[in-house]
Amino acid sequence: MPSNSKAPVLSLCAFFVATLLSPPAEAQESAQPEFVEIFGNMEFTGRMIARPLQVQDAREYGMTRAEVRRRVRNADAALAAYPLVDYAVPTDEYIFEVGLGNENLVAKELMAQGNFEYVEPDWRVFPIGCPNDPSFGSQWHHNANRMNSCNGWDLETGSTSVVVAICDTGVELNHEDLQKHRMEGYNAVDKKWESAGGQVDDINGHGTMTTGCAAAKGNNSKGVVGTGWRLSPRMMRVSNSSGGSSSISTLTHAAQTAALAGDRVASVSYSGGTSGSVSTTGDFLRSKGALLIWAADNAGNNYKGNRDDGAIMVGATDSNDNRSSFSSYGNYIDLFAPGSSIFTTTMGNGYGSASGTSFATPLTAGLVGLIFSADPTLTPDQAEYILRYGCDDLGSTGEDSTFGYGRIDVYRTMQLIYTYETLFADDFESGDFVAGGWSLPMGMAKVKSKASDTGGFGARIRNTGIIERAVSTSTYDQIALLVSRRSKNYDSGESLEIEWFNGSSWNSVDTVTARKWNGRFLELPNGADNNSSFKIRFRSVGNMGKERGDVDDVKVIGIKI
């Protein structure tokens, strides 16, 4: 693979009304091109991002590994025709030049070869939202009937060992509310750490505002309070332009670099969150123990798609708990947070109000930091489910196509961690089932290093194997099961089943067919409460030895009655 090369620094382009170049008549299959730039939101740069097929995902493509390897070689050969700008090692993505106006034609030609997961523009994207009120204002979003932050802070205010990376325009280095606990910054355009000369001072003002939302210091008799006011913020500057514009490849590089430095959450308040590269980067961050939080943008769009992707997309609400008029929404958006008239830190050692999903995003990132502070052993997937189920429901009952899981609530989220007690936990690090008290009624299960999501070991259940564990829930209610799980090689209709026993019958709570690790927070029905006969089990529904499910980081939790 090619070595990393320095990406060119973006210059500030004059604003213009975009005119799309149409492909030749013989190449047109429809009047509408796949990629359409939106002025001031997502604009073409003349660069593309391509990710070849991945060998480890051969079965998902319906191919052999040898066939995928052949297609990867073909992808490399096809990309050799274009000037390479950069190569993202963590995510196997190529950034290359095609020239302005050629984005749709090149994407269509390369995707038609069947050798790529995606080929998409390396969009020029913009910080979302700007100051609208320089006068003093209140932080209404922390109120008890909204984020309920004060009650949540009675349980957790954050740990300085948990770092929240703000991928933005820089930060005012001498701001009275942002200096304490600040970590070394990084300039993602120049690819330099602050100690090596990388500039991280704020060239626009946007980054100072978003940093304050996530981690402005509390109890210091100064200014405002961020959601995680004892967290350590790190500025990952993503623009050298006074206008603040950046690119998808620079933003994802910033988030990847933060995760490699050990940061637990990266916050990106820019447009472009629907890019395939953003989801791929979200998956990479999860593999490093971190979560990627990205703004839904201010275009008011209804984004279709699957919110169970790599990144957590955040929309904005107003002080009446309505969707902010500018906020995008839809099935692609995970959840919402306050984003209208948010009082936060500003340039000049000041404070002011601002609106945008830009500010809902770091408020959420700060809450993720509180989750990891409260329980650093949580996997990213488990932390995401706690974040989701800690939300206050808005709109239609339950998860819906406007608000997703609802609006974040600091107190409810912290309750899920601090009010719950662990009744049983096993990460299989003992290396066997005996130490965890498991029984194997059907055998065909082993504790293996290759079955681990975190740590050195996990449980592998093959063919028709079963492992089960009795866990008395007497004197506890609101029982929930946390578990990381994946499956492999199952045929249609086969799966790994996660089940619980109510004293007379087994009941399914989750069916696993996905090949990637995914953590679940599974709330169990009332029959699991206060039950001395309660059990859990993991059952492989297959008919061959190679068909299997892997399980790790199992916890049964409940609240004392």
pTM of model > 0.95: no
Q: What is the pLDDT of residue 5?
A: 37
Residue 137, pLDDT > 70, answer no
Residue scoring higher pLDDT (515 or 129): 515
Residue where one domain finishes, among candidates 364, 391, 418: 418
Residue 94 lies in a domain: yes
- What end-to-end distance do the CA atoms of the chain give, in Å? 58
Percent of the chain residues past pLDDT 90, beyond the cut: 70
CA distance 220 to 229: 10
The mean predicted confidence, pLDDT, of the chain is 88
Residue 2 lies in a domain: no
pLDDT digits (tens, 9 = 90+) for 504-513: 999 999 999 9
Mean pLDDT, residues 314-330 taken together = 94
Q: What is the pLDDT of residue 176?
A: 92
CA distance 432 to 316: 47
Residue scoring higher pLDDT (141 or 186): 186
DSSP class of residue 182 equals: P
CA distance 481 to 554: 7
CA distance 491 to 475: 41
Query: Does 453 share its domain with 400?
Result: no
Domain of 168, in residue numbers: 130-418
Query: Does 231 share its domain with 322?
Result: yes
> What is the residue whose two structure tokens read 């998956």?
283
Positions annotated as catalytic residues are 168, 206, 358
Residue 251 lies in a domain: yes
What's the chain's length in residues? 561
Query: Does 84 share its domain with 156?
Result: no
Q: What is the pLDDT of residue 135?
A: 31
Residue where one domain finishes, among candidates 418, 451, 480: 418
Identify which of 16-20, 99-103, 215-219 has the greatest average pLDDT.
99-103
Residue 15 lies in a domain: no
pLDDT digits (tens, 9 = 90+) for 43-79: 999 999 999 999 988 877 889 999 999 999 999 999 9
Query: Does 79 share its domain with 223?
Result: no
Query: Does 291 share its domain with 175?
Result: yes
Query: Does 96 share its domain with 140?
Result: no
Query: Does 100 share its domain with 134?
Result: no
Query: Does 63 share its domain with 94?
Result: yes
Q: What is the pLDDT of residue 38?
A: 85
Residue 99, pLDDT > 70, answer yes
Q: What is the pLDDT of residue 448?
A: 94
- pLDDT category at 26 given cuts 50, 70, 90 is very low
Q: What is the pLDDT of residue 11?
A: 27
The CATH number of the domain where 508 resides is what?
2.60.120.260
The CATH number of the domain where 245 resides is what?
3.40.50.200
Beta strands in 360-420 (DSSP E): none
Distance of CA 235 to the CA centre of its chain: 18
Query: Does 320 share its domain with 448?
Result: no
- Crossing angle for the helix pair 380-389 and 410-418, to the nearest 10 degrees: 120
Helical segments of 99-182, H only: 103-112, 149-153
Residue 18 lies in a domain: no
Residue 115, pLDDT > 90, answer yes
Residue 366, pLDDT > 60, answer yes
Question: Hey, which residues does 48 pair with through a beta bridge?
Answer: 96, 121
Query: Does 356 share its domain with 344?
Result: yes
Mean pLDDT, residues 284-313 taken together = 91
- pLDDT category at 145 given cuts 50, 70, 90 is confident
- pLDDT category at 138 given cuts 50, 70, 90 is low
Query: Does 114 share its domain with 214?
Result: no
Query: Does 399 share its domain with 467?
Result: no
